[in-house]
Amino acid sequence: MPVYDEERTVGDIIQRVLAQPVVKELIIVEDCSRDDTWGALQEWPKRDARIRLFRHEINRGKGAALRTGISHATAPYVVVQDADLEYDPAEYHLLLGPILAGRADVVFGSRFAGGARRVLYYWHAVGNRALTTISNMTTNLWLTDMETCYKLFRREIIQKIVIEEDRFGFEPEITAKLSKLGVRIYEVPISYDGRTYADGKKIGWKDGFSALRCILKYGLFR
């Protein structure tokens, strides 16, 4: 769980994650927040031994936080969980299904494959679909939501991938690198309760251009 400026929501999402019987460990990487997120996290490892807490001394970005967290993972499966409330941990079983059935090595949770979702920004959806289409063209994967946060991996697969991007380029980078490993990738529908910018949403149009750069870099030129 990468965390940055989520003082208001981090306690709620931690409770939701720990309520899932399949969760064996929760690795939280606090990425030098400007608010008191770090203070809000201090009591949690005392409450539940499954929590392991790490902190970056300078803000390095989501990709860097994931690189730190994934390197410390010990459970057999790893899922990315944002610290806001957009994605529902109660749906972990949907992601685990294809892997436990022996059909997949990696599972993407798609916001555009029929699950319930909050109706928000049209142009965000257009941008996400455009980036997914371009990514599919470079990887030859047929995904509906490359930019989804919910990606679940067999631990041995994600830990052997070198994550280079420090910020929001993680999604296209990891998708391109997975495509070159030839692993079995499944996609399942998930719900999505998206945030507005007033709620604290951070991603913007500059991140879209950065994602495009990463698609071309890792999909075509590597």
Inter-residue contact 93 to 191 (CB < 8 Å)? no
Distance from C-alpha of 37 to C-alpha of 31, rounded to nearest angstrom: 9
Span 112-137, pLDDT tens digits: 987 666 666 677 788 889 999 999 99
Q: pLDDT tens digit string along 177-197?
A: 999 999 999 999 999 987 565
- What are the start-end ranges of the H helices in the chain? 10-18, 37-41, 44-47, 62-71, 92-100, 122-139, 155-158, 170-181, 205-219
Fold of 2-219: Spore Coat Polysaccharide Biosynthesis Protein SpsA; Chain A (3.90.550)
Instruction: Inform me whether the pLDDT recorded for 154 exceeds 90.
Output: yes
**Domain boundaries, given as residue ranges, for the chain:** 2-219
Q: Regarding predicted confidence, which is higher, 207 or 130?
A: 130
Quick one: pLDDT at residue 203? 67
Residue written as token pair 């909050």: 118
124-131, Cβ contacts within 8 angstroms, sequence gap of 24 or more: 127/205, 127/208, 131/172, 131/208, 131/211, 131/212, 131/215
Q: Which residue has the higher pLDDT, 220 or 185?
A: 185
> How far is 185 from 181, CA to CA, in rounded Å?
11
Q: Is the pLDDT of residue 30 over 80?
A: yes
Give me the pLDDT at residue 39, please. Answer: 97
- In this prediction the pTM is 0.90
pLDDT in tens, 74-117: 999 999 999 999 999 999 999 999 999 999 999 999 999 876 66
